[in-house]
Amino acid sequence: MIENFWANAAYSLIPTLLVGLIFWLMMRAIFRADRTERTVYAAIEVEERARFAAEQTAAEQTAAEQTVAERTVAERTVAERTAAE
């Protein structure tokens, strides 16, 4: 029995170590994928926020230009009515 002690110890520990190693590799892959996904998602979110802000700014500028154009048309209409009277 003593002569097989180290062989028995190795046969007992090797499966446990291999399962632990496989588990560690799987968890490492999962965490790396999660980290990469979060990085990519953050970059996409920054792009979307910038695009949204640009659209909002463009919409506000268009609304301001329309307001100015409407005022100009209204002023011309008033001026034409007063000139016609």
Q: Where are the domains of the chain?
A: 2-60
The one-letter code for the residue type at 55 is E
- Per the listing, tokens 């000139």 go with 83
Query: Residue ranges of the alpha helices (H) in 1-85?
Result: 5-84
Mean per-residue pLDDT, 7-26:
94
Asked whether residue 18 carries a pLDDT value surpassing 90, the answer given is yes
Angle at 83 between CA 81 and CA 85, to 5 degrees: 70
pTM listed for this prediction: 0.55
**pLDDT tens for each residue of 22-47:** 999 999 999 999 999 999 999 999 99
The model's pLDDT over 50-66, given as tens digits with 9 standing for 90+, comes to: 999 988 888 888 877 77
Interatomic CA distance for residues 6 and 60, integer angstroms: 79
